[in-house]
Amino acid sequence: MLDQHRKTEHYAQKINELPAFPAVVSGIIRLIENPLTSMNRIEELMTKDQGLTLKTLRMANSAFYSIPGGAKTLNRAITHLGLESIKQIVLTSTVYELLSTKSNSKFDVGLYWKHSIYTGSVAGLLAQKFNLGKSSDVFICGLVHDMGKVLLNMVDAKSYAETVKLSEETGVHFDEAEKTLDTPRHTHIGMMVAKKWSLPAVIQCCINDHHTERLTTRESTVPEINSVVDAVWLANRMIENMMLDKNGKIQPYTYESEVLKRCEIELKDLEALQPEIEAAIASSESLLKTLS
């Protein structure tokens, strides 16, 4: 069996062979992030890509965005939703396509995307409620936080399956099983690909640090970035616990930690937010249906 260092090198080589992030999408994101860009300019650029236009309209018309009367044109979608939501749509559909893969005995694609989209949705809600960042940006960070798992399964399904097996047999979470096996972490592999795709720094940090509580061991020292990482850290735990197989051995995550203190969130705040969390999860289901 390859040792961890050789495995990482082998994965890096495989990652190099992955498709590049579409230049047209990078261009649109850059334009949206420039406050001087007009809506017309974005519309003009997007309409040049028919596939992207169709995908955007399909998602904009999902119950998640709930445009009254729907949107038949890109102009209506952009005007009604605003550029931040358009960025969210474009990034979500692009990442979904780039990470497209098949299920196998230890990797359930449907379950993976459910976990991801729920985490994005709840992270966005937490960010909005507790002032942890811009909700639409945090949604994307939550959506892609575990992309390293897809990639690991793509480049080395055998090792991925061994990690899942250990997790199931010993009742520890996937990230803890990775540590026990001393296998390259999904957080690290995910970040390598996020770098290759030149995704924003905040996304890279959320991928790398969504299991890391301590600020001193995180990738970034920027407080605004770490607030977003905290939102994703918390949302990931909440969704993991919610989706836990009740007949399985894996124990729920706990929440008491320096993360909650830092975010000034108490457990009773999370309990009070439960109805909104459930509503956010339910509405994200429609987005999932549109994507798949």
Are 64 and 125 in contact by the 8 Å Cβ rule? The answer is no
Cβ proximity to Fe ion: between 146 and 156 the closer is 146
Other beta carbons within 10 angstroms of residue 4's beta carbon come to: 12
Q: Please, which residue, 135 or 236, has the CB nearer to Fe ion?
A: 236
Position among 93, 153, 208, 236 found at the interface with Fe ion (CB under 5 A) = 236
State the nearest-atom distance from the C-beta of 239 to Fe ion, in Å: 7
What one-character-per-residue DSSP string does 41-52 give?
A: HHHHHHHT-HHH
Question: CA 183 to CA 170: how far, in whole Å?
Answer: 17
Q: CA torsion, points 108, 109, 114, 119, in degrees to nearest 10?
A: 100
Nearer to Fe ion, 81 or 137 (CB): 137
Site for Fe ion in 117-146 (CB under 5 A): 146
Cβ closer to Fe ion: 177 or 260? 177
Locate 81 and state its tokens.
Answer: 């939703």
Token pair belonging to 79: 């005007």
Residues contacting 116, CB < 8 A, separation 6+: 142, 143, 144, 145, 146, 147
Minimum CB separation of residue 229 from Fe ion in Å reads 12
Q: Which stretch binds Fe ion (CB under 5 A): 121-129, 176-184, 216-224, 228-236?
A: 228-236
Q: Does 209 bind Fe ion (CB under 5 A)?
A: no
Total residues at interface with Fe ion (CB under 5 A)? 2
- Dihedral over alpha carbons 136, 140, 142, 143 (to 10 degrees): 130
Smallest distance from the beta carbon of 208 to Fe ion, in angstroms?
A: 10
Check residue 208 for interaction with Fe ion (CB under 5 A).
no
- Build a one-symbol-per-residue string for 48-87: x at contacts with Fe ion by CB under 5 A, - elsewhere: ----------------------------------------
The structure tokens listed for 23 are 């230049």
Position 153 contacts Fe ion (CB under 5 A): no
Rule CB under 5 A: is residue 230 a binding residue for Fe ion?
no
Q: Which residues bind Fe ion (CB under 5 A)?
A: 146, 236
